[in-house]
Structure 1
Amino acid sequence: MTPPPTAAPALPAPVAVDPRPTRDPGTGRRTHPATGGALVLVGMLLVALNLRAVVTSLGALLDEVRDGLGLSGVTAGLVTTLPTIAFAGLGALTPWLVRRVAPARVLVVAMFALAVGQVLRVVTDSALIFVLTSALALSGIAVANILLPMLVKQHFPHRTGLVTGAYTMALTVGTTVAAASAVPIAHAFGSWRAGLGVWAAMAAVAVLPWVPLALRTRASARRATPTAVAATPTRVRPARTRLGWAMAVYFGAQSLSGYAIMGWLAQLFRDAGYQPESAGLLLAGVTALGVPIALLMPTLAGRLGTLRPLVLGLTTASVLAYLGLALAPHGAALLWVALLAIGQGAFPMILTAIGLRARTAEGTVALSAFAQSTGYVIAALGPLMVGILYEATGGWTAPIGFLLGALAVQTTAGMAIARPRYVEDE
């Protein structure tokens, strides 16, 4: 969820994009900053479809996986926390990778790891191997999470809001389809393994557009002059800025709630009396209703003079949803699902802000890596604490109270980043 830039008279106007060719980080090849390309856009959308399916499919089938592998409540909480741990650790390495390897080549390996990891984790009866192979799959997602904002800035600098909205919408669609269909697929094939493993095919498809792009960048690198290859982009260090930390805290707090919802909402509805299929559909409803929000939020965020109304509006929706889930989870489930979907609009907002708070592609990938990797360290507490509190109390009052506390932190950070400025300036 990303807050867009707002107007601040004391700050300099955004620097216009230089129309002259620039150098692609990691390859040294010369590119035109206004150049996008249909293949790059298709590749980005296919990658985005895969960025949450591996998580929400597990959330919908968590009971079956726990029974099949003999997982305790705490271990299940660890499994649902694994995405944030992987995203934090491996995401931080992505800028280092991009300085040495072309982004297209990195994405080929990332999507291949995602496909292989998903296959391997459904053919084992060992809880440990399940965790390790899940981590392999999630490593691919961790790298892609960081690269997509950079690719938007690099290839579509004049359409940041539109392209960010398109790929976050694709991400939301993939999340929704996985949550809604994981249980029916598992029942159709008689095993939870099918409900998780089928998404490996989608990851394999996402590799395809990046293969020719990777070959193209490799050929360009061979033709590059020694001077071009030696050029080193200016280092941007968001960890030394207040903006970087505010972005990281906001990203972390909204991700904490997002992953807690993906990992445990279906279980909450099951405990409230819904059948597994219905609980999975309600979880899918959160992401389905988020599709138009994901498309519109980046554009809306970019046009507002201040992000404060968005920050406060998203917080209000989330508070009402949490209170409703605590007091009447069955009686008005559809209303709570709709309010949760609105509250989760913080995710596309913060993704947009990553691009809008940096002047350059180098600044964007640095801010993206710092905000997401640090944010996912914070977010790792979400599913884990919800699992611990759920097992300790046997109910949902304490877990929801924890999520309300995280929402207060998110709102405070959101107000801090509502004012427009650029990480390079700090």
Structure 2
Amino acid sequence: MQDEDLQTLDPPPAPRPADSAPRPADAAARTRPAAPPAGPAPRHRPHWLGPVLVAGIVLAALNLRPAITSLGALFEEVRTGLGMGGTVAGLITSVPALCFAVFGITAPRLSRRFGPAAVVCAGMAAVAAGLLMRPFTDSAAGFLAASALTLAGIAVTNVLLPVIVKRWFPDRVGTMTGLYSMALALGTSLAAAATVPLTDALGGSWRTGLLMWAVLAVAALLPWLPLALRTRRDARAQAPGSAAADRGPSVVRSRTAWALGCYFGLQATGAYITMGWLPQIFRDAGVSASTAGVLLAVTMVMGVPLAFVIPGIAGRLRSQGVIAVVLGLFGLAGYAGLYLAPAAGAWAWALLLGVSNCAFPLVITMIGLRAKSPAGVAKLSAFAQSTGYLISIPGPLVIGTLYQHSGGWDLPLALMAALMLPQILLGVLAGRDRTIEDECGMRD
């Protein structure tokens, strides 16, 4: 990274008082970093800071889903090994979304006190610690506690990665969001596809199969240690401005924030339903178990390249609603295909749903664009993700209940398709060219 790029990484050492902050007149101004105030010039950043930030973001994103998808691949072996009953097993499958909602809401306060890099560093430490602990537990309660520790670290990192991008890459929100969204999709797919083969190659124990993902988490911790130490002084210097911003109206008053939260919830619902039930839909249609697993992998792998492309496009548009509409139409086509000819067009439906599931990188990009400052992004990210994950919790359970009581997939698929309609509408509302500061009268 060049020296001039490093200057964009450096937040102003003494931000303007909140009551004198300018209000940008257009969308382009919202995404430009604020000019430093008169006074001492920002200190020159060392050459290593930019590359280490990028590496830290990518490695953190790679670790945001393997704890979940690796467990899904070995869940039957874990249940048997720990003697889990059905209730406990059901609780463990519901814990991720609940932890993301509960712990994610604490991220802005922690970020204001310690700085976002320090909190992400602690988050990665929690992920590594939980992944190291849970293979050595001998009870369902211990396994659940270790999993909750890991999920708490993932939750705060989920919320703060958009803040990191907005703060240090304010003129490259789309590109950097695409980079870490692609890494997140890659980590999700890699853990789902590789856990069982690697477990078999390492002796067949589920404990070894889960433990190996701790290595990736420890690797992710390493770049965040110097970043946390280096940026701690910036967090202390910015604390007065952040406190002043906190006295403004709550983000709850923003219609855009609610649209983002509900859009996040519906896209997460669709993603969890797809991951949990798509193979069963194909198997009930006569597709073999092995092919059904490959079809799910195809759906998930689609997110790797598109997760990089979509945020880049979204960041260059004044309004992102058109992308939400296109992704929603892909989802409607995929569900219609599953309803009418699930086996005959299985590969096409898997591809269509894979594209539709890329609403996740879109909503993460919109979170970075719908607020003017890193503090605003922190509030919006916490609110949208916590609200969204709470909304997503009942989705897979409702679909399973409908499947059990109706004896087929017609009714569940009709519901999944119906949910795409409000998702499209909310995406259009969330993608409008405005910010939460303007809506709520908050200072940036």
TM over 0.5: yes
Partners of 1:162 and 1:105 in 2: CA distance: 23
CA deviation after TM superposition for structure 1 residue 82, in Å: 1.6
Higher helix share: 2
Asked if 1:257 corresponds to 2:270, the answer is yes
1:111 to 100, 107, 124: 124
| 1:178 partnered with 2:191 | yes
Matches within 5 A, 1:206-217: 206-217=220-231
1:385 deviates by 2.6
Distance 1:402 1:370 in 2: 26
Aligned residues: 404
Maintained 8 Å contact 1:317/1:339: yes
Q: Please list every run of at least 4 consecutive aligned residues from structure 1 whose deviation after the TM superposition is greater than 6 angstroms.
A: 30-33
SS in structure 1 at match of 2:33: coil
**Shift in Å, 1:279:** 4.0
How many Å apart are 1:100 and its aligned residue? 0.8
Provide the C-alpha distance between the structure 1 equivalents of 2:178 and 2:366, rounded to a whole number of angstroms.
12
User: Are residues 1:41 and 2:57 paired?
Assistant: no
The one-letter code of the counterpart of 1:422 is T
Once the 2 structures are TM-superposed, how far is the Cα of residue 247 of structure 1 from its aligned partner?
0.7
* Alpha-carbon separation, structure 1, partners of 2:408 and 2:79: 18
| Shift, 1:392, TM fit | 4.7
- Does the CA contact (< 8 Å) of 1:51 and 1:171 recur in 2? yes
Number of the residue aligned with 1:302 = 315
> Which residue identity lines up with residue 265 of structure 1 in the other structure?
L
Aligned to 1:141: 154
1:22-421 alignment, distance < 5 Å: 37-69=50-82, 76-188=89-201, 189-218=203-232, 230-231=240-241, 232-235=243-246, 237-269=250-282, 278-393=291-406, 395-421=408-434
CA contact (8 A) 2:123 2:154 kept: yes
TM-score (norm 1): 0.85
Letter of the aligned partner of 1:106 in structure 2? Answer: V
Q: Which amino acid aligns with 1:139?
A: A
Provide the C-alpha distance between the structure 2 equivalents of 1:354 and 1:63, rounded to a whole number of angstroms: 37
In structure 2, the residue matched to 1:7 is: none
Structure 1 match to 2:6: none
What amino acid maps onto 2:207 in structure 1? R
What root-mean-square deviation, in Å, do the aligned CA atoms of Structure 1 and Structure 2 show? 2.8
Instruction: Classify 1:110/1:163 alpha carbon distance in 2 versus 1 (closer, same or farther; 3 Å).
Output: same
TM value normalised by structure 2: 0.82
Aligned residues of 2:320 and 2:366 also touching (Cα < 8 A): no
1:12 match: secondary structure = coil
Task: Report the structure number with the largest CA radius of gyration.
Answer: 2
Check whether the contact 1:102–1:217 (CA below 8 A) recurs between aligned residues.
yes
- Tell me the distance in 2 between the aligned counterparts of 1:370 and 1:323: 33
SS of the equivalent of 1:122 reads helix
Alpha-carbon distance change, 391 to 141 in structure 1, aligned in 2, over 3 angstroms = farther
CA distance in 2, matches of 1:335, 1:80: 29
> Which residue does the alignment assign to 1:18?
34
1:88-112 per-residue CA deviation (whole Å, 9 max, x = no partner) reads 1111110111111122221222112
> How far did residue 63 of structure 1 move?
4.2
**What is the identity, as a one-letter code, of the residue corresponding to 1:234?**
A
Amino acid at match of 1:296: V
Deviation at 1:273, TM superposition (A): 5.5
Contact kept, 8 Å, 1:179 with 1:283, in 2: the verdict is no
Alpha-carbon contact 1:49-1:170 (below 8 Å) kept: yes
Structure with higher RCO (Cα < 8 A, 6+ apart): 1
Taking the aligned partners of 1:182 and 1:278, their CA distance within structure 2 comes to 18
Q: Retained in 2: the 8 A contact 1:147–1:365?
A: yes
Shift in Å, 1:272: 5.1
- Determine the C-alpha separation between the residues in 2 that align with 1:415 and 1:173: 27
Contact 1:183 1:277 in 2 (8 A): no
Shift of 1:327: 4.6
C-alpha distance in structure 1 between counterparts of 2:98 and 2:209, whole Å = 23
The alpha carbon displacement at 1:278 in A equals 4.4
The letter of the residue matching 2:271 is: G
Deviation per residue, 1:378-397 (Å, 9 max, x gap): 01122333344445556444
Structure 2 CA distance, aligned partners of 1:73 and 1:396? Answer: 23
